[in-house]
Structure 1
């Protein structure tokens, strides 16, 4: 019997604190930095984002999203035999124990399931789904919980208006299960370390202190230029692997980073904008959480239906990028 992986549940969670462009303008003005709603929207398409409460960790957001995904999947949490968390803002600075292990504990899972984190920045969720798909197809695991969770508000420099206005916090989750019917049709992951410096946190932990900067740095024009190129390329790669054309895509869910990049991708694939799921306007860039957040929203409002073909794709620091083509 040929095994496939299939998406059977999705969930998402946004912290309660919603920060509009107006709210952010007031905060930046207190730091002597001027910006405007028009400036932010015209460059990114973002009108609002959510910030985690003090003490609220990536694992806390992840657990809330996971509970909803597990509920939709209709399986007990202890039937999950692997937890993968994609995050650039793990609970612990040293990155261990993994946020996935913390999520496992907070979900009350005591079945000795495997758990680990994936770090590919904004591409993290796409990477994690690709890994989950391979492990299910191999027969190693049956039910996999995949989560993207971020608290980027903690790594933003609020004296740099070119980056601090772009990012938000949130989490999205999926449950994938072994199936005799194709669900994940094709995946592809890429990285090019030559571009590592254009999106990074250029600091490291040394003797209990940060050496370098602990704030996010981004060369916006360089990231934009690379993103619009690789997103089109990787979309065609997974379509070719699945033996499909862009016309077969019912929904495009790109990484929610910048509306101009997203529109460019849809245009290059010949897809009408009505087929693209957009949440960047209200969520901002939630890094590894952005794709599953958008996916869950489109699932729960009835846009994504059984039988639909969905293209997920993302780019992130590293420089990383990838895509997943799925049939619901």
Structure 2
């Protein structure tokens, strides 16, 4: 047992210490960014209303409404509905006003459960591409059902009974594989994100160390490197995040949204449909909350991990010097 928990030669910390270092950052990050995640999901779940002659078609991501304008007036009433958001700040205000502050932390339980599952798979386990850990593909596959439940909870107000009914309906219609809905676009988001993040993180960290004339990165250098590299990766992979959200919010909405089955399920067809309906801007829905979320999330994650790793390295070195 002592041999299994001995410090690894490369990092001089035990697997348990590595789990504590990464897990602390993950929990802090989840508590901090969940409201931004809720806003991002809400913005991505709604689709841009558009007018056709005297008729007005509105879709909130769950159902379509055809509204006939009276003498060309009255269409603006749709934009004033509390279910439609015009931007990040508007979403924050409306969600808080009509659903309560607690709604901003919707989906937190499955998020924390995902962290627990990831840590249970070993040191450095990950639920986020900016974690040091195993392959993003493996992480996505393991965590995908929890990610789907989290997205569903954040897309609109749902009681646990309603959520259970959605899952039961989806499983009854499409089998247990429906719980992995959105796996494809999630992989296409997380694998490039991970590659972009770590490549840019190393470049930015080395550059900042040279500018500061330091051999090792400080907490602030790690924080800034994580924020910059996370922002770049978040922007470039956002279209796949939009597709993932729209695929997952359809779970169990067969009765409410009977045309969902006729919609294209291919990631590339969905990208084309979103662009056709909402333009290129639609592929970057939720841009601001995602950037505001990912930049500090990656910064907190990596800097907390680096700080914890350094702390445990020094602690182990002191123990060795004392002969413990």
User: Which category of TM-score, normalised to the shorter sequence, fits these structures?
Assistant: under 0.3
Q: Which of 1 and 2 has greater Rg?
A: 2
TM-score (norm 1): 0.26
TM-score, normalised to structure 2, is: 0.26
Looking at secondary structure, tell me which structure has more helix per residue.
2
| More strand as a share of residues | 1
